[in-house]
Amino acid sequence: MDKPKYLPWVFVLALMSACMEVDVSVPSFPDIARYFSASEGRVQLSIAYNFLGFCLGACVWGPLSEAYGRRKMMLLGNAILLLGAWACFFAPSLDFLLAARFIQGIGASTSAVLVFAMIADRYQGAENIRLVGFMNACLSLLMAIAPILGGFMNAWVGWRGNYGSVALLSLIAWIGLFTLLPETKRQRVPVSIRKISRDYRALLQAPVFINTGLAPSLLFSAYMAFIATSSFLYQETWNLSIMDFVRHQTVIVGSFACVSLFSVKLMQWIGNKQRALKFSIALCVLSTLSLMLFALKQVETPILTTSLMSLFCMGFALCYPILFSASLDIFPELRGTASSLIMSTRALLMATFTGLTGHFYNGTLLTVTFSLALGTFLALACVACYLRLDSRLPLSAPAQ
């Protein structure tokens, strides 16, 4: 099947708005709370509502793309994202903003689900892992830029400027997709509730799929719980300026980007996938335990927290492409449905983690570390089960 050289960049374009919408808004959370005279926890619900919409949308985009094609669903979903983004920009009240974030989440889930299904349609084996790592690196760089953009826009034009920048980017992305995105799903499967139920049942009855799908989702949810509270923690508890906070957040996200970019080379250097998974999850566990220990001892500093969260992101970035690629290869004929199930579950977990963290947040690092620890140790259990169940995992790292 033909693979245009520009296709990976089209995928990046498709994911830009979806991956930046959260990080670009986080620096303005304290200002949004003041503008609407709302509590910190209520403003953090904007992330939870976004992930709830993401969860619902992710359930349907995969099966619909199997029946009507990836391209059509990408254009429809990104149009919904564009609508939600502009609604956020014009929001007259916090309730309206929360509703708009919900709509935005439904649209954002399209690219998150279908881009990786389209990658699996066109690329296999080591090429697939390399491209997933490349995508993670590009997206992480965008996520690293997002808080910088958010900080400048917030200081320049206020919190609405952050949502306006996402809306403008969503418009550019939709035009680019309409012009350049090819169809990667040649065979169509008619929509059937019975078939969708049967496909989901087959996936949920496969322990290897469950573990490879859940582990990165749990780590991502733990990470997002930290991000959702980080602006209040750094700016209000530790009294950092918005631009100082942006620098810390950029370091954390940038560490994920750097490791993602060289994930295949690092895997080869470590030796094989099993060792890479063990090393990466151990790094996540070690950094989480250290962060919790310092929080219990009330040793809370921005530099220490940023350093340990960067180590967490490095471990997460190394294991993510291995696990995610494996999850989509278990049932090659169900990649769209598998991607939908993974992304919807991930969004539900993120909504739960961020919602609960926001509800119990009391201005200290300790409440955040509980969510981080819960996600990390559950992910550790999933990785351990996967390594025990899948004896077919190749011993050699993928070739360049």
Contact 281, 383 (CB under 8 A): yes
State residue 381's pLDDT score: 96
Q: Is the dihedral of CA 237, 230, 49, 55 positive or negative?
A: negative
State residue 393's pLDDT score: 45
Cα–Cα distance for residue pair 113/11, rounded to 1 Å: 12
Cα–Cα distance for residue pair 65/191, rounded to 1 Å: 9
Confidence of residue 394 (pLDDT cuts 50, 70, 90): very low
Confidence of residue 104 (pLDDT cuts 50, 70, 90): very high
State residue 359's pLDDT score: 83
Domains and CATH numbers, the chain: 7-184+195-389 (1.20.1250.20)
Contact 338, 196 (CB under 8 A): no
Cα–Cα distance for residue pair 72/126, rounded to 1 Å: 28
**Count of Cβ atoms closer than 10 Å to residue 258 Cβ:** 17
SS3 of 291, please? helix
pLDDT digits (tens, 9 = 90+) for 171-196: 999 999 999 988 877 777 777 788 88
Residue keyed to tokens 């939908």: 340
Phi, psi of 39 (to 5 degrees): -75, 165
Residue 178: which of 13, 2, 5, 1 has the closest Cα? Answer: 13
Cα–Cα distance for residue pair 146/165, rounded to 1 Å: 10
262, containing H or E segment: none
pLDDT digits (tens, 9 = 90+) for 115-149: 888 888 888 777 777 787 778 777 767 777 787 78
First to last CA, the chain: 21
pLDDT digits (tens, 9 = 90+) for 10-61: 888 888 888 888 878 888 888 999 999 988 888 988 988 998 998 898 888 8
Q: What percent of the chain has pLDDT over 90?
A: 39
